[in-house]
Structure 1
């Protein structure tokens, strides 16, 4: 019984540390693109290009985090990523994606968190 309790405490501790370091909230590049593919009807070529864009962003943001940078230092990277993604999308997809981003931003400002938009 003591072993089970010890293992449970260990698992909870690891989960807590992981979440405190920001590991619990971020979506992977593949997850982000998967959500976009479903909601925006991306082509395979668009999926490949956008996945590469998000993977590059993840590397840049991780290196900034490891250097101790705050969110304001990451904002230009995120803005550049958004511009690159928009360049890959069609006009209709870009409009729908911008609407999704605006809705997510509004939810975050209201304290509701980000994530993928609700399905309709």
Structure 2
């Protein structure tokens, strides 16, 4: 009985570690490009170019992280990457990509809550 319990705990521990490491794959350049390929019907050539753009961005982000770069330094890099990606897309794909980014930014600003609004801040006290 103890052996079965020990095996179950070991299995759950391995499963938990595997799941925790799964989030790191979200930023894999090839996976990101494949998601865009599926979402915007990109050609294989476009997908390869975009994967290269994302690899370049990843190297620059790693460099910024290692030098202690702040959030204000990430934004220009992300904007430049998005501009490069749009240059690879057809006009129709670029318009869809821009719309997708705008919706995504909106969700992120709302905290990813699906559109719930928050109450406005209280008025400043009058003196």
Normalised to the residue count of structure 2, the TM-score between the two structures is 0.70
* Partner of residue 43, structure 1: 43
* Partner of residue 109, structure 1: 109
Structure 1 runs of 4+ off > 6 angstroms? 4-9
- How much is the aligned-residue C-alpha RMSD, in angstroms? 2.7
Report which structure shows greater RCO (CA 8 Å, sep ≥6): 1
* Partner of residue 116, structure 1: none
**Aligned counterparts of 1:69 and 1:8: Cα–Cα separation in 2:** 37
* Partner of residue 92, structure 1: 92
Q: What stretches of structure 1 of length at least 5 have no aligned partner?
A: 114-120
- Give the drift of 1:27: 2.2
Structure possessing the higher radius of gyration over alpha carbons:
2
Aligned length: 109
**Aligned counterparts of 1:91 and 1:5: Cα–Cα separation in 2:** 53
